[in-house]
Amino acid sequence: MIGTFRQSMAWLHTWAGLIFCWILYFLFVTGTLGYFDSEIDRWMKPEHTAPQHASLDHSAAVGMQRLEQEAVGADNWTIRFTNGREVPHLRVIWRGPEPEEGEERIAGNERLDLRTGEPLPEDVRETGGGQVLYRMHYSLHYLDRQAAFRFMGVVAMFMFIGLITGIITHRKIFKDLFTFHPERGRRSWLDMHNLLSVSSLPFQLMITYSGLLFTVTIWMPAIAVGSYGFDLETVADELGSLAQVQIEREGTEAVLTDVQPLLADAVALWGEDQVDGLDVRFPGDANARVILSRSPGVGVVGQQRVYDGVSGEYLETIDPTTRAPIAVASVMIGLHEGLFAGPLLRWLYFISGLLGAGMVATGAIYWTAKRKKKALPYEAQSRSYRFVESLNVGTILGLPIGIAAYFWANRLLPLGMEGRADWEIHCLFLAWALCLLYPLTRPSRVAWRELAWLAAFAFGALPIVNAATTDAHMVNSLRSGDWVLAAFDGTALAFGLIFAGLAAELGRRRAKAERAAVQTPRAVGVP
């Protein structure tokens, strides 16, 4: 009975993984890049100055001075403090009330130079940056948002089924962590699949389960309907929005309080690196409010301290995580997106994501390797096998080549080109499409090796293209201490070397297989 149950789980594991393996690979690769989305943004906007750092007191003084000059009459002032990643420069935002017909709304959004208080130049080149790559792993870019959410919910469920059935199937799961048989054909691919799966299993379980929770109201609407009826807008507000400070303008002029003591109060409670932003509602009015917000992390989403904007008196703390559903959601969001992670932990997330992509890739390769001999004698099965193997080559190597094309397009497309950001993404998918078609025209062994060399060139030459088109190349980055730009070029070189090593290994195996074929006429191996 146990053996039969385990066999049925093995069957389910195989087909749950195969049906969506290429989409899962896409999800893992693009989602993993999201852990460095801000760093990718930085590289794709080389005209931006390096991140600036200053004390909260100085940053607040610079921001308030600019707002007092430019945002008179606005209902809301916002200062986003630098945090080194998502907000590398001090940013001020202001917005006035809805204007009367024919009038222009008071509004602005500026990045400020902390040394001079003057606005920094806005984007010279239109680009989607790292944010587009990150959003791609759940929105699929070209699909309707709701359709993409529903589809990715199905994919995540199949991924979760694959993980659970894989755990049940492998009786010696910890032994798999230390087992690898090189030069054993399809057995080596199975060992590699098991090794990558087990070594990153906690991450895969966490990332898949938390991803499923994001779509729970789509696939299990009865949960929300039972508590809220069919008012889905309220559900979204409860789970995804901050509680709002409900105030109105009084109409009596008053002097805004000094925000420095309020900052000191928040710093004493949260720490200086945790203060994310400062909002002023109705500046210059007797009913003004000053709101300080805390940086997000695991279990910390949207915490705010509210002060009277005239007297400076502390009024309340708004903490949505005191409600159990939002507390759970905030923990899951924090874990899934790595919002709390420092540099080392963010690299661990990144490496774990790559291991997940490798797990899916090796599983797909093993599936074709195991069925190759059975498929080839029969024409119909041979065509199906050939199609699946071409998808493996075109996706596993083609998607990274497409991503490299996205970065090349950022540097090579004309700066004033209309729809430039869209064409960066089009270049990604066009390059990937060509890589999907290419294996249909070449023997699989040759296609694997040639696309691996192309990937090696695409990533390895990227720092050269960067140096030829901008001043933000590795030498200048190292001289100025801009480690983000230097690390991007270094990582591109590292991936170029990895793909070059893969191509060289595939060439060595092909030469070995040809020597064996001369001695023995039987068919041998797979890439």
In tens, the pLDDT along 343-391 reads 888 999 999 999 999 999 998 888 887 776 665 555 555 677 778 888 9
Helix (H) or strand (E) holding 521: none
Under DSSP, is residue 222 helix (H, G, I), strand (E, B) or coil?
helix
Asked if residue 134 has pLDDT above 80, the reply is yes
Q: What per-residue confidence (pLDDT) applies to 526?
A: 45
Residues found in the chain: 527
Q: Looking at the DSSP assignment, which residues form a beta bridge with residue 484?
A: none
pLDDT band for 52, please (50, 70, 90 cuts).
confident
Under DSSP, is residue 287 helix (H, G, I), strand (E, B) or coil?
coil
Query: Is the CB of residue 130 less than 8 Å from the CB of residue 44?
Result: yes
In tens, the pLDDT along 153-190 reads 888 888 888 888 888 877 666 666 666 666 656 677 77
Place of tokens 């059975």: 374
Rounded to 5°, angle at Cα 336 from 334 and 342:
60
Query: Is the CB of residue 101 less than 8 Å from the CB of residue 1?
Result: no
Question: Who contacts 153 (Cβ-Cβ below 8 Å, separation ≥6)?
Answer: 212, 215, 218, 219
Does the pTM of the predicted model rise above 0.75?
A: yes
Instruction: For 378-444, give the DSSP string.
Output: SHHHHHHHHHHHHHHHHHHTHHHHHHHHHHHHHHHS-TT-TTHHHHHHHHHHHHHHHHHHGGGGS-H
Amino acid (one-letter) located at 118: E
End-to-end CA distance of the chain: 37
Average pLDDT for 198-206: 89
Mean pLDDT, the chain, rounded, equals 83
Q: In terms of Cα–Cα distance, which of 62, 54, 67 is closest to 116?
A: 62
In tens, the pLDDT along 296-320 reads 654 556 688 999 999 999 998 887 6
Asked if residue 517 has pLDDT above 90, the reply is no
In tens, the pLDDT along 57-85 reads 999 999 999 999 998 888 999 999 987 67
Alpha carbon of residue 492 to chain centroid: 17
Backbone angles phi, psi at 185, to 5 degrees: 60, -130
Alpha carbon of residue 474 to chain centroid: 24
Dist. CA 398–CA 429, nearest whole Å: 10
In tens, the pLDDT along 428-470 reads 999 999 999 999 888 888 999 999 999 999 999 999 999 999 9
